[in-house]
């Protein structure tokens, strides 16, 4: 007799433990895709906003005007704009204290920018570890479901007098579906993680370059009055 070995039938006839594993992997895959799309659009927005701020910054606009605008829209500002604002804020604060040492002014501004840079990178990297975990753990979870399903299938076959391929195939196929779902969850997560890690590294390098360039500007203006 021909047996229905469609995916849905195999899932419905799998043992309870294997079904739980499959359900968990499917939910994990759904969460993974949610993170992937959220991170994809989020990183695209970060790059666009940083590029817009850089164009405005290098257009020669007054630093105090840029700082005032960045302070007004702190929550909606670009990550690079918040880094700039933190450095400029510390620079102006130290200069108001009549700190004459240009090196101390620059060091204070640089430390503030580095702290802001770390906060921004922590926010940008959020949920990236989840993708790494999904990519590394999902295949093993699926393999556990497969091993359990095969063990359950062979235990059921132990009571039969005659075992043929037709009697073995459904149980093994049901178990192998768990591994397939595990790979289905893991492969996109690994690809997305590698892509996002590379994009985040580029954003980090770009931001660090801006910090150095802005530090040079502050160093040149350290001895000038507050109307930079």
Report the distance separating Cα 155 and Cα 49, nearest Å. 60
123 has pLDDT over 60:
yes
3-state secondary structure (DSSP) of residue 100:
coil
Six-digit token pair at 13?
């006839």
Lowest mean pLDDT among 10-19, 67-76, 101-110: 10-19
- Residue 91 corresponds to which tokens in the numbers above? 């620079």
Q: Tell me, what DSSP letter sits at residue 226?
A: S
CA distance 47 to 37: 16
pLDDT band at 175 (very low <50, low <70, confident <90, very high): confident
* pLDDT tens readout for residues 34-60: 999 999 999 999 999 999 999 989 987
Stronger pLDDT, 112 or 11, i.e. the higher one: 112
Which one has a higher pLDDT value, 40 or 153?
40
Please measure the distance between the N-terminal and C-terminal CA atoms of the chain and give it in whole angstroms.
86
Q: Where are the domains of the chain?
A: 7-59+128-220
Q: Count CB neighbours of 103 within 10 A.
A: 9
Question: Which of 25-29's residues contact partners 24+ apart within 8 Å by CB, and which partners?
Answer: 25/138, 25/141, 25/142, 25/145, 25/178, 25/181, 25/182, 25/184, 25/185, 26/181, 26/185, 28/134, 28/138, 28/185, 29/134, 29/138, 29/181, 29/184, 29/185, 29/188
Tokens of 201: 């590294």
Taking the CA atoms of 118, 207, 82 and 67 in sequence, report the sign of the dihedral they define. positive
> In terms of Cα–Cα distance, which of 52, 89, 38, 65 is closest to 228?
65
Unique residue bearing structure tokens 């926010």: 123
pLDDT in tens, 189-217: 999 999 999 999 999 999 999 999 999 98
């Amino acid at each position: 007799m021909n047996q229905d070995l469609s995916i849905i039938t195999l899932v419905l006839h799998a043992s309870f433990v294997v079904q739980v594993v499959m359900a968990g992997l499917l939910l994990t895959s759904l969460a993974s895709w949610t993170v992937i799309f959220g991170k994809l659009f989020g990183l695209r927005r970060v790059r666009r906003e940083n590029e817009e701020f850089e164009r405005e910054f290098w257009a020669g606009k007054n630093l105090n005007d840029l700082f005032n605008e960045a302070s007004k829209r702190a929550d909606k500002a670009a990550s690079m704009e918040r880094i700039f604002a933190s450095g400029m804020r510390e620079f102006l604060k130290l200069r108001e204290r009549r700190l004459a040492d240009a090196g101390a002014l620059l060091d204070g501004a640089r430390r503030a920018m580095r702290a802001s840079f770390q906060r921004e990178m922590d926010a940008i990297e959020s949920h990236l570890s989840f993708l790494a975990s999904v990519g590394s753990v999902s295949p093993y979870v699926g393999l556990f479901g497969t091993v359990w399903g095969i063990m359950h299938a062979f235990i059921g076959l132990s009571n039969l007098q005659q075992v043929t391929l037709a009697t073995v195939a459904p149980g093994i196929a049901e178990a192998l579906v768990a591994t397939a779902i595990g790979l289905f969850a893991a492969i996109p997560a690994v690809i997305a993680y590698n892509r996002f890690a590379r994009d985040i590294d580029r954003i980090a390098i770009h931001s660090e370059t801006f910090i150095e360039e802005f530090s040079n500007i502050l160093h040149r203006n350290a001895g000038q009055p507050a109307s930079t």
